[in-house]
Structure 1
Amino acid sequence: MTESKYTRQTVTEVRQWVPGKLFSLRVTRDPAFVFKAGQFARVGLPESNTPGAEPTLWRAYSMVSGPLDNELEFYSIVVPEGPFSPRLAALKPGDPLYVEKTPYGFLTIDRFATQPSTAQSGAYSDLWLLASGTGLSAYLSILRDPATWTTFRRIILVHGVRTAQELAYRQEIEGWSDLPEFAGIYRADPRKLIYLPIATRETLPGVPQARLTTLIQDGRLESLVGERLDPAHAKVMLCGNPAMLADARKLLGERGFAPGRRGVPGNLAVENYW
């Protein structure tokens, strides 16, 4: 990979969500790096710690940051024996991280044919963001894009994990309604964003201890959210581990959800993410 394909950025913050397992980091952003909310970047590190060594190890990470943010943020799980993520987690502010100049990926809201939501006339779309684990990353970027809030009548974010401590960004998401930039949105519709954290190995208040796919299958997800998974109005994004995606895609397919094809927009978008 030639140097012209990437830029050298600097780590500004590292946050340990679950020590040794889940972390996020922020780095400076090259002004020329432009991306759509939901896309991912390839980030690189050198194989050795020799000062000035060129990056040769590359991995794809969805941006957590929004397209208008000044920095880039990434969220990751640590693969203990892996060659990349343990070293990424060990970075400290001031360390370099290399970012390819080109963003990738199609988990973006322009995958769907949408129009400004007018629920009164029956012409509206709700956006369902269903994630497991670190699949939450792309959705945080999408939620930090103002276009998402104006395109959809309602946004439903469901994050499935094993234990409560793995619910990264939970406090931030639940606190958005108190921020000045969101105040007007929530005043107009307190249910504009519906956030549902669920855990499979721990019971959270008011939420059953169950897999996301189980809640889709038995209808409890719709009851918990208070909205219908109706293919006529709902646009669904799936992001997470392959097993969850395969099961959820099958269940949603039986309800009439399908990805776009041959230029025909669909109502389902899927991306593998661990």
Structure 2
Amino acid sequence: MWTTGTVIERIEWNEKLFSLRIKADVEPFIAGQFIKLSQIRDEKRIARAYSVVNPPGKDYIEVLAVAVEDGQLSPDLQALSIGDTIEVSTKAAGFMTLDEIPTGALQGPHLWFLATGTAVGPFISMMETAEPWQRFDKVVLVYGVRLIEDLAYLPQLEALKAKYPTQFIFIPLVTREAYSGGLSCRIPDGLQSGILEQTAGVALNQDNSQVMICGNPGMITDAQTALIEKGLVKNLRRAPGQITVEKYW
């Protein structure tokens, strides 16, 4: 089902990357889930999924999007101004949630978030809740982008570092220009070389780690391969493991 949402705030990260806060009557969701935004064009509904960036309990939903030149919906989203309307799915969906992570002895003390681009959204939603900080001794966010200007939500991430100084480890990766605030490798390469573990000061292995991966399919495939080589296995409901994945397109 669909409801009409109203844009109440915009954040411009760069000329193509932006966030929208949308006031809409949607059902309660779990941090990490996605909703769909849509428009009717030529009597046909064009709908795309976007992860909710804000935590549950707000009276709006926030999405992070990038305008793709030949995209069917994203250029229209970028053109929205405060007060404009957009159709929003009333119910969120998706299994990239902390509910899917094993508990007890199978959990381990460390949680790793591996994200590229706009796929950082569901992890920000989770980190703005109490659950990861209550369940894990360390939370490591590895956030890969091409350019420095593509790093969205840096002020919010810095605030999380200040709030959880001994728990939160933030490792930004910028692949196409020098960045003194982080590393310059791709996520899979950082896993294989060990530089991510070295930078975090946290070992990544089957006994102490849970890893959630969200982003482009190539990164996901290569990152899973690197993690499997380290002895980690995919997390399934029927067979709990350490790797939880959601493809972002």
Could you say which TM-score interval applies, normalised by the shorter chain?
over 0.9
Asked if residue 234 in structure 1 is aligned to residue 223 in structure 2, the reply is: no
C-alpha deviation, 1:83, in angstroms = 1.8
C-alpha deviation, 1:259, in angstroms = 2.0
1:106 alignment partner, SS class: coil
- Matched length: 249
TM-score by length of 1: 0.85
Q: Which amino acid aligns with 1:149?
A: W
Q: Structure 1: any 5+ residue segments left out of the alignment?
A: 49-53, 118-122
2:28 paired residue among 28, 34, 39 = 34
1:106 paired residue among 88, 95, 119 = 95
1:194 alignment partner, SS class: strand
Q: Deviations over 1:145-171 (max 9, x none)?
A: 212221111100010111111111112
Change (3 A) 1:164 1:209: same
Which deviates more from structure 2 when the two are superposed, residues 208-217 or residues 235-244? 208-217
The equivalent residue for 2:136 is: 152
1:175 alignment partner, SS class: helix
1:95 paired residue among 62, 68, 84 = 84
Percent identity, please: 37
Q: Which amino acid aligns with 2:166?
A: R
The equivalent residue for 1:43 is: 37
Q: Deviations over 1:72-100 (max 9, x none)?
A: 00001111012210001110111111111
2:50 paired residue among 57, 61, 68 = 61
* Contact 1:26–1:71, Cα closer than 8 Å, also in 2: yes
The equivalent residue for 2:185 is: 210
Q: Structure 2: any 5+ residue segments left out of the alignment?
A: none
The equivalent residue for 2:64 is: 75
* Contact 2:7–2:81, Cα closer than 8 Å, also in 1: yes
The equivalent residue for 1:127 is: 111
The equivalent residue for 1:120 is: none
C-alpha deviation, 1:29, in angstroms = 3.4
* Contact 1:107–1:269, Cα closer than 8 Å, also in 2: yes
C-alpha deviation, 1:262, in angstroms = 5.2
Superposition CA RMSD, Å = 2.0
TM-score by length of 2: 0.93
Alpha-carbon distance in structure 2 between the residues aligned to 1:206 and 1:33: 39
Q: Which runs of 4+ in 1 moved over 4 A?
A: none
Asked if residue 140 in structure 1 is aligned to residue 124 in structure 2, the reply is: yes
